[in-house]
Amino acid sequence: MREILGRRLRRLLGATPVGRRGSSRRDRSPALLGTALACAGDWNWPVVPGVGLAPDPVGGRGSGRRCACPDPGCVVPGAHPFDPGLLAATTDRRMIRWWWTNRPAASVILATGGTAPCAVSLPADAGARALERLDAMGMRLGPVLATPTRMALLVAPYSLERLGELLYTKDSVPSSLRFHGEGGYVVLPPSAAAGSGRVHWERAPLAGSARPWLPDVEAVVDALVEASSGASGGGSRLAY
């Protein structure tokens, strides 16, 4: 997601108010392209367009929109890569402009790991508790993504080996806590997805620096594990 200041940062990253009933997919299109270009050109974070949404047949589930992929039971409607796949994620501005010129309403998918951030996501209520605890500790946080049901903290890149060693020291890790590392992805604002509403910044990237600062996963994982352990609907646990 060179310096982007004030209103320009909020416009490019989709952090402007989104509650207006008159807003449309066309309204979001410049912000979606702006987010993709900011990630790729300014931050060297590879992105790829999401599959998007399609009209739901009469009698279908949801709010009249379904995932455009072939899977009728898709669990993340519109919020995942399909064609092109995640391996096509790039920082090439020309490719990104071509993608979003042809599919202006496509969600923005960030391929995590490598030169890009990794992420840790958890239920929204647990995320709110975790942020309160981390703020009380004086912990410096990076950008935080949110939907009505989930929250994701962007963290510095980590390897699977490093993550495994870190989690091995825990008595247990809630299954509602998910790790987005190499080969994974997160969806960036102001993307939309059926059933979960619009993705927005709970903590937007700060203006005034060439690239958002990111904490190490070790700095936040204890608070996230503790908060997720008491999350509603997230009681099942993976023991280590």
* Whether the Cβ atoms of residue 48 and residue 109 lie closer than 8 Å to each other: yes
Per-residue pLDDT of 106-131, as tens digits, reads 999 999 999 899 999 999 999 999 99
For the chain, list residues with pLDDT below 70: 1-28, 57-64, 193-196, 207-209, 230-240
Which residues are CB-contacts of 209 (< 8 A; sequence separation ≥ 6)?
A: 3
Q: Which residue has the tokens 């589930």?
A: 61
Dihedral Cα 98, 114, 215, 147, nearest 10 deg: 40
3-state secondary structure of 89: coil
Beta bridge partners of residue 103, listed in sequence order: none
* Per-residue model confidence (pLDDT) at position 53: 80
3-state secondary structure of 141: coil
* Per-residue model confidence (pLDDT) at position 209: 64
- The string of DSSP codes covering 129-191 is HHHHHHHHTT-----EEE-SSEEEEEE----HHHHHHHHHTSSEEETT-EEE-TT-EEEETT-
* Per-residue model confidence (pLDDT) at position 214: 96
Is the pTM for the entire model greater than 0.95?
Answer: no
Tokens of 26: 């066309």
> Is residue 79 classed exposed, middle or buried when 0-12, 13-18 and 19+ CB atoms within 10 A define those classes?
buried
Phi, psi angles (nearest 5°) of residue 168: -65, -25
Distance, C-alpha 229 to centroid of its chain: 22
Q: Which residue has the tokens 């999350």?
A: 231
3-state secondary structure of 38: helix
* Per-residue model confidence (pLDDT) at position 230: 65
